[in-house]
């Protein structure tokens, strides 16, 4: 596995997505090693109106910081 995995690359081509459901437990691979969740994505996803977080454990600092960074990147979010 590469050390320079960038979580933002996953969303780079999703500019028209309106409904996003993310199982946060499946992104554990990004938490391995020294990777830290970004404060926010380097771009806004303006079309996302609904964001569902599945299996989010608020006791896991990485999952929580990743979730917050995604929420910050959805300026037109209507439902969480």
Structural domain spans, the chain: 17-29+38-80
Q: Which two three-digit tokens encode residue 5?
A: 């995995």
Q: Are 2 and 34 in contact (CB under 8 A)?
A: no
How confident is the model at residue 20, as a pLDDT? 87
Ranges 2-6, 31-35, 40-44, 49-53, most confident: 49-53
How confident is the model at residue 76, as a pLDDT? 92
pLDDT 10s digits, 11-20:
777 778 899 8
How confident is the model at residue 26, as a pLDDT? 66
As a whole number of angstroms, the distance between CA 27 and CA 25 comes to: 6
Beta-sheet strands, E only, within 1-80: 19-23, 50-54
| Residue 24 in this model has a pLDDT that exceeds 70 | yes
């Amino acid at each position: 596995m590469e050390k320079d995995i960038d979580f933002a690359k996953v969303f780079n081509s999703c500019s028209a997505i309106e409904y996003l459901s993310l199982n946060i437990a499946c992104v554990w691979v990004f938490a391995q090693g020294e990777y830290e969740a970004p404060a926010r994505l380097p771009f806004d996803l303006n079309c996302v109106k609904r964001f569902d977080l599945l299996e989010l454990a608020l006791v896991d600092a990485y999952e929580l910081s990743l979730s917050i960074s995604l929420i910050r990147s959805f300026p037109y979010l209507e439902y969480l």
